[in-house]
Structure 1
Amino acid sequence: MERLMAIILAAGEGKRMKSKKTKILHEICGKPMVEWVYQCVKNSGVDEIVLVIGRNGEEVKEYMGNKVSYAKQEQQLGTGHAVIQAQEYLENREGQVVIMYGDMPLVTSNTISLAVDYHKEKGNAATIITADFENPAGYGRIIRNSQNEVVEIVEDRDASCEQKKIKEINSGIYCFDISALRDALKELDNKNDQGEYYLTDTIKILINKGLKVGAVKIEDREELAGINDRIQLAEAAKVLRKRILNKIMASGVTIIDPDSTYIDSEVEIGMDTIIYPSTIIKGETKIGEECIIGPGSTIENSKIGNRVEIKNSVVLESCIDDETKTGPFAYLRPGSNVGKNVKIGDFVEIKNSSIGDGTKISHLTYVGDAEVGKKVNLGCGVVVVNYDGQKKHKTIIGDNSFVGCNVNLVSPVEVKKNSYIAAGSTITDEVPENSLAIARSRQVIKENWVLKKGLLKKD
């Protein structure tokens, strides 16, 4: 049975990144670049993927897990040598194998599918993805004969003056017949100035055998960019970010200023939502319809309902239900679940708490490890004192309760439903249902105290 395989070459050390992290694990728009390459080939219909890793490949294995098979290239002896390390996966298989690099996150699955389809249609032993570059310096050149057939790939350093003028370059992405590649690898040698095994030499071997080699030239040269340093990483991020935002806008979302908006690839946003400038939406966030998000908001791995407003606020690993207004300058920390038609106002911080429908927490309040019921009002400056220095404790506030300004709720404590707490109280004991709790000292006035102390200030 024929198979479509892929070998991703990812053993390079990436020294120009100047990082302790393996190059292909550097993130772009929420995913490591190797994940972009993996999804590209996976979405093109590939059955099996082999990842060639280097000496420091354990962190790559830890991230990729069992999604791929692995081959290890202990020594960096060229691209052909890297493919040879994966040769065991080519044995006793028929079909096609796509070979590409793990640091090319801009390649699309459409381009891979186009090359594979062309390869099969023409009956090629190998097909190369190429493009015309205005400045092809550093790239291998595609040499064609008078019939426009590919006859050779010449590396830039080996090219003659005439060959250097050729603009069609080798992208380093190939589709091979598995059996043809398997045989060509057996004849590969390192008799060159670098002492390395070049994958491009397999093209020459196949042509010398009289086998057919073709090329698919693509128009979008951006797809073929490799990432070698932080500058190129940022440039690739711009391209991917534009693709993501264009897709979101095409689905019915308004993005006021795409240049200042950062949205990860896995984010889902409903129709008629408006995203204002300087907003960052990360991870697997899902946002409903007719929402207003931003300006200046950050949302990460959260679920947002319909007709929600989030202004100048941070929402992390939390859920906000329909028609709730958040911000400006609110902070929802992980584990927060906010109900419908809730108001979370300015400088309110919520952590690991549930907030019932219709509740209002208008400003300058901290709610941590708490269960707040429906239609509760928390006044300005309310603090849930959830930490005793060793453990976190829970506070429960029942439905329809009113908590006045500058109240401390010392956990663990429960305020039953329909209760009132007077402003300035420190609550340490349960407040019964339908009660008013007052926990503050009686006001004392000492007349003329300022004069007796000699503290009166002259005008």
Structure 2
Amino acid sequence: MTENTLAIVVLAAGQGTRMKSRLPKVLHPIGGRTLVGHVLATAAQLGADTVEVVVRHERDQVVAALAAEHPEAVIVDQDEVPGTGRAVQVALDALPEGFDGDVLVLSGDVPLLEAETLQALVDGHRAAAAAATVLSALVDDPNGYGRIIRDASGDVARIVEQKDADDAEKATREINAGVYVFRAGLLRAELAKVTTDNAQGEMYLTAVIGLLRAAGEKVAVSIAADTAATFGINDRVQLAEAARTLNDRIVRRWQREGVTIQDPATTWIDDDVTLSPDVTILPNTHVLRASTVASGAIIGPDTTLVSTEVGEDATVRRSEATLAVIGARATVGPFSYLRAGTTLGADGKIGAYVETKNAQIGDDSKVPHLSYVGDAIVGRGVNLGASTITANYDDVNKHRTEIGDEVHTGSHTVLVAPVRLGAGAKTAAGAVVRKDVPAGALAMSVAPQRNVAGWVEKNRAGTAAADAAARADSAE
């Protein structure tokens, strides 16, 4: 293979004990993706010949997540020898035979680096004909990070880990970002010399830098312009900081694309979301996963969309929708709950305190308030009166309700599935519909009203209601 080929190695074998979690560190999510998922999504933009992920701790969980999120990644298992140096060594062994290009090493817990930064790192490495190039950052508080130690001429002399650093080295503000580019052949040769003789008892990848310098090879360094993007995540505090940094980046990107975001501090948008110009997002709103929002739509306040499609000029306020489709000019809310499989047609309405699930609601149809519509097909121009519900579950199976075009139901109608209402049919208030209703028919289930005189005074003697009834009787 030519020297211009590129392999990417993502290190995801660490235990992540400081997260204090059953979930592997690299699988904690921010912005709708796992930490390692962000790294791999960025890596995919670089056009590498191969991308490998080195795993060890919680191996099965990590591999299962990678199979779902990035099945193209090559899984490499690290053995019992600890350390980043050993992780890269086994990754090199897994590369195609004869590979002698460049190896870009990334950390699975550094999710905010962008493809442009990494491409510039690779390009600079090649232009300098360096044996290795290190990405560094200048920080006010370097505690916890490896330090870049430079020689008298300003070149990189070595990288020293926090636990192995003396006081002078600890005072250095230039930190190692854990991102490197190496020439594969030289990396193989120098890794063979690395030992575990250090405070951690690990095979450090950083030791290769000193060995290359000792061999007279050139080691370059690139200082990252965006310091925050280089930070690794080791605990929940840093996880939250990274999530906020990523969200701020996403919000600014959409604002520059013509989206009005009234309160960026309370708006959260995942990385896979698609927004169109002239969308308005009001405070306390989360737009998550693969949601798409078309031009002119207003989302919020106090709204959560998860993998939901919103059409042009629609309005969704104080509501939650998951795996739903909301048509153009439709209105949802306040306090609506659209569950998976809900489709609301153009100019439709799902109003206050309505829950829907697996329901296809046609154009111009309205479910204004206090209703449940589940496992139903609702035609065009339908109006479901207040507190109409589809009783779709018989304690064993779910059943469907079919409602034709221009059907109007009275308040508190119960449609006991499976049942079908023909086009133009109507139901009386309080109807319990157990049989199909023909087109244009009125369904009623009303018993004659019976008034029992004197019932309150006889059965609730001494109550305020009984006293009021007695006074009314006397007045009459």
| Match of residue 171 from structure 1 | 177
How far 1:161 sits from its partner (Å)?
Answer: 4.4
What is the CA deviation profile of residues 242-277 of structure 1, one whole-angstrom value per residue up to 9, with x for unaligned ones? 111111111111111111111111011111111111
| Match of residue 467 from structure 2 | 458
| Match of residue 86 from structure 2 | 81
The counterpart of 1:266, out of the listed 253, 269, 272, is 272
| Match of residue 25 from structure 1 | 27
Q: Is the 8 A contact 2:269 2:286 kept in 1?
A: yes
Q: 1:430 to 1:209 in 2, by over 3 A?
A: same
Tell me the SS of whatever aligns to 2:341.
coil
| Match of residue 48 from structure 1 | 50
Q: 1:433 to 1:216 in 2, by over 3 A?
A: same
Q: Is the 8 A contact 1:55 1:74 kept in 2?
A: no
Tell me the SS of whatever aligns to 2:467.
coil
What is the CA deviation profile of residues 17-64 of structure 1, one whole-angstrom value per residue up to 9, with x for unaligned ones? 111111101111111100011112222332211111114211111111
Q: Is the 8 A contact 2:81 2:203 kept in 1?
A: no
CA distance in 1 between partners of 2:337 and 2:360 (Å)? 14
Task: Give the aligned residue type for 2:262.
Answer: I
The counterpart of 2:236, out of the listed 230, 237, 258, is 230
Tell me the SS of whatever aligns to 1:6.
strand
Count of residues in Structure 1 that have an aligned counterpart in Structure 2: 459
User: What are the residue-to-residue correspondences of 1:66-215 with 2, within 5 Å?
Assistant: 66-75=71-80, 77-90=82-95, 91-215=97-221
CA distance in 1 between partners of 2:198 and 2:170 (Å)? 19
Task: Give the aligned residue type for 2:66.
Answer: M
Task: Give the aligned residue type for 1:40.
Answer: T
| Match of residue 407 from structure 2 | 401
CA distance in 2 between partners of 1:5 and 1:226 (Å)? 22
| Match of residue 474 from structure 2 | none
Q: Is the 8 A contact 1:374 1:400 kept in 2?
A: yes
CA distance in 1 between partners of 2:323 and 2:214 (Å)? 59
Q: 1:359 to 1:171 in 2, by over 3 A?
A: same
CA distance in 2 between partners of 1:306 and 1:136 (Å)? 48
CA distance in 2 between partners of 1:285 and 1:175 (Å)? 36
What is the CA deviation profile of residues 62-95 of structure 1, one whole-angstrom value per residue up to 9, with x for unaligned ones? 1112321122223252221221222313451021
Tell me the SS of whatever aligns to 2:191.
helix
Identity among equivalent positions (%) equals 38
Q: 1:182 to 1:367 in 2, by over 3 A?
A: same
Q: Which runs of 5+ in 2 are unaligned?
A: 469-476
TM-score with structure 2 setting the length: 0.92
CA distance in 1 between partners of 2:455 and 2:159 (Å)? 96
TM-score with structure 1 setting the length: 0.96
Q: Which runs of 5+ in 1 are unaligned?
A: none
How far 1:6 sits from its partner (Å)?
Answer: 1.0
How far 1:162 sits from its partner (Å)?
Answer: 4.0
CA distance in 2 between partners of 1:317 and 1:164 (Å)? 50
CA distance in 2 between partners of 1:420 and 1:195 (Å)? 78
1:421 aligns with 2:427: yes
How far 1:194 sits from its partner (Å)?
Answer: 3.9
How far 1:157 sits from its partner (Å)?
Answer: 4.2
Q: 1:195 to 1:392 in 2, by over 3 A?
A: closer
Q: 1:69 to 1:136 in 2, by over 3 A?
A: same
Q: Is the 8 A contact 1:17 1:23 kept in 2?
A: yes
